[in-house]
Amino acid sequence: MTEHPGRITREDVAHVARLARLRLTDDELDLYTGQLGVILDHAADVASLDLDGVAPTAHAMAVTNVLRSDTPRPGLDRDEVLAAAPEVEQHRFRVPRILGEAP
């Protein structure tokens, strides 16, 4: 596994893992820092191409305006939905106390 200094650091990976609520061991941090560096190197290969005159692509498929009509469709049965919840109160999902505030 080669190191890719400057592309992504171990600290970057630890930061993103924390944001994603992933608990990584030291070994895993090393492993993913290396793997992510390889992926970024690949992206850098694309960036090194001469892309003058090539429009940015938003999606792998060259399609736009995929829309549906504003027509209601039946959803899920509420009892079935709430049966999947760990805890239910007043037909709502009961979740542990939230310390922060919604963004």
Partner 1 sequence: MDRYQGGGVVTEGWELVIGLEVHCELRTETKLFCGCRNLFGDEPNSNVCPVCLGLPGSLPVLNQRAVELAMAIGTALHCDIRPSTFHRKNYFYPDQAKDYQISQYDEPINVDGWLDLPDGFRVRVERAHLEEDTGKTTHAGASGRIHGADYSLVDYNRSGVPLVEIVSAPDMRTAVQARAYATELRAILIASGASDGKMEEGSMRVDANVSVRRSTDATFGTRCEIKNLNSVRSLGRAIDYEAQRQVALLESGGVVEQQTRHWDEGTGRTETLRSKEEAYDYRYFREPDLVPVVPDAEWKAAVADTLGLMPAQRRARLVELLSGGNGAGGNDGDGDGDGELRVDQIATVVDLGLDDLVVGAVAAGVPATLALARTANEAATDAEAARRLDGSSYVALLTLEASGSLSATQAKVVLGDLLLAGGGDPAMLAKEKGFEAMSADSLVETVGQAVAAEPDAWARYCDGEDKLAQVFVGKVMKATRGQANGKAVVAELQRLRG
Q: Which residues are at the interface with partner 1 (CB under 8 A)?
A: 15-16, 19-21, 58-59, 61, 63-73, 75-76, 78, 81-82, 89-98, 100-103
Minimum CB separation of residue 91 from partner 1 in Å reads 4
Minimum CB separation of residue 84 from partner 1 in Å reads 9
Give the nearer residue to partner 1 in terms of CB position, either 2 or 60: 60
SS3 30: helix
What gap in Å lies between CA 99 and CA 94, rounded to an integer?
15
Which positions ≥6 away from 41 have C-beta within 8 Å?
4, 7
